[in-house]
Structures are given as C-alpha cells and as structure tokens.
Amino acid sequence: MAKSKNLPCPVRSISLPSRLNPNGLKIEAELDKLKILEIPVSAERIQTGILGLVELYNCVQELIQCPNTQKTLAQHQSGALVEEALEGSLELLESCDTIRNLFCMIKEQVQLLQSALRRKGADSSIEKDISNYFNFRKNMKNEIVKNLRRLKQMENRVGSSVFWDIEQHLSMVIRVLREVTSVTISVFKALLVFLSYQDTKIKPRGWSMISKLMITKSASSQGGQIFSDMGSVDIALASLREHIKYNETKVDINVVRRKLQSLDSSIECFEAGLQSLYKQLIQSRVSFLNILAV
C-alpha cells in the first residue's frame, strides 16, 4: 500500500503557567503527547492516545481538587464555568459509552465469525456468515456517522462561551479544561474512524460522509488513507467470499483466522483503555458536581 501523508487532527495549543500550579508542566506534557495524534493512525497509536487521556485526566483531577481552583470556579459568575464543564463532561461520557458499546458489538460479530469458520471452514455456507458481518458493519456506520456529527457539534462549541473579569489562575483552568475537551474529542473521532474503515474496493457510500466529518477541508485536500485491523479483516473476508463464489480450490482459511484474531486482540486492548477512561470521566464529573454542592 502506498505510504499516506500524515494529516494532523486540529487541536488548539496553550501554554500553561506552571508557577501557578505544580500540575501545569505535567498537564502540558500530556497534552503535547496527544496533539501528535495524526491521520492515518494505527490501532497502537490510538491505544496510546487513550492511555494518554487517562493520565491527562489524572492530572486534571489534581488541578480540580486544588482548593484555589474549587473556590474560583464556584464563585465566578455563580458557577457558570462549572455548569459549562458539567455539560461537556456529560457529552463526553455519553460518547465514550457509545464507543465502548460499538467495540462490544463488533467483538461479538468477530467471535461469531471465528466460531463459524471453525465449524464450516471454506464451505459455501460460510458466505451467509460473511454477509451478516458486512451487513452489521454497514448498519454500524450509520451510528458512527451520527456520533461523529455529535462530536463535530461539540467541537464547534468548545470555547464559544466568553467570561469576563477572570484572574490569572482561573484563566489557566479554563484553558486547560477546554483543551482537554478538544483533545478528548479528537481521540474519540479517531476511534470511530478506526471502527468505520473499509477497503476502497468494498466500502459503501457512508465512508465519504465519515471522511468529511473526520478530516478538515484543508487536510482532506492533501489525500491520505486510514487503515486498520478492521479494513484488513474486510479485505480478507471479501477475498474468501470471492474464492468460494467461483469454486476456487486454493483457499487459505488461516489467513482470515489470523486477521480476525488480530482484530479481536486489538478490540480487547481498546476495551480495557476505554474502561479506564470512562472511570476517569465519571470522577471528573463528580468533582464538578461536588463544587456546585458546596
């Protein structure tokens, strides 16, 4: 496959005054790691991004627990900043939960295919199982497009609110929270595109919409291709189906099995990372609720 150009996910940059909070440098370092997330991205890069988000939210949690931070957030404009953070945290939680469910569903489909291949091998009856898998992928794309639209809307709202008479520490906190939201959205979008990828020869029309929602206009003009274990499985299954359709005798069923096993392993890693991230998002939301309750 030809080497694709790297298309950076657009994430705004901030410079945090570390003297205001000992966590400043840690947060900035974690943000810098996540900003290098690019398209195309491999499963390994996205998994690293998820783990980076978990560490980032750990740092942000320490920042939120700082007495000075809690006091300024609660007092400024009657807690308007906390309300904004709560609204964003709920949307991120819902998106994370949706993505976790999508991974759970695709894992179930992969395991059904693995079971069918063990029982049927390259028998013609396996065609029905392959078709069921592709139909599931097609339906899943509709859900992915819907969630990418939702993330895009959220991305456009980040930083749209304007607050006046803000002291330096609070200004830094606002920038951190908005930056963390932006980079979380970027990782979520990368996850959805990983799940949606299909090879160019067999992809449905829905892929063009996904590309538009994921890549900026300036980036899309540069070209580029996203490849993943999902696409690798699609290619292997499509090839197997063609071999069976034309009664070709040389069918290496083990290739398909290896591709499915690789995808299954990737999904397990994603699920573990998303579970840890989901817990961090809950903790973050609880912290904001506690500030309002004081």
Is the pLDDT confidence value at 116 over 60? yes
Helix (H) or strand (E) holding 38: strand 38-39
| Mean pLDDT score of the chain | 79
Helix (H, G, I), strand (E, B) or coil at 8: strand
Place 20 in a pLDDT band, splitting at 50, 70 and 90.
Answer: very low
- pLDDT reported for residue 209: 46
Query: Nearest Cα to 57, choosing from 221, 233, 176, 216?
Result: 176
Place 222 in a pLDDT band, splitting at 50, 70 and 90.
Answer: very low
Contact 60, 177 (CB under 8 A): yes
Q: For the chain, which residues make up each domain, given as ranges?
A: 23-155+165-200+227-293
User: What is the arithmetic mean of pLDDT over 212-241?
Assistant: 62
Query: Which two three-digit tokens encode residue 147?
Result: 């969630």
The count of other CB atoms within 10 Å of the CB of residue 71 is 14
User: What is the arithmetic mean of pLDDT over 88-114?
Assistant: 96
Query: Which two three-digit tokens encode residue 77?
Result: 């404009």
* Sequence-distant (≥ 6) Cβ neighbours of residue 282 within 8 angstroms: 93
Count helices and strands (H / E) in the chain: 10, 2
Instruction: Please give the biggest Cα pair distance in the chain.
Output: 76
Q: How far apart are CA 21 and CA 62, in angstroms?
A: 10
* Sequence-distant (≥ 6) Cβ neighbours of residue 84 within 8 angstroms: 161
* DSSP state at residue 249: S
- pLDDT reported for residue 294: 67
Taking the model in full, what pTM does it have? 0.81
Contact 151, 95 (CB under 8 A): yes
* Sequence-distant (≥ 6) Cβ neighbours of residue 271 within 8 angstroms: 100, 103, 104, 107
CA distances from 87 to 80, 90, 158, 239 (A): 11, 5, 11, 46
DSSP string across 115-132 = HHHHHHTT-TTHHHHHHH
Place 200 in a pLDDT band, splitting at 50, 70 and 90.
Answer: very low
- Report CA 252 to chain centroid distance, whole Å: 33
Is the pLDDT confidence value at 192 over 70? yes
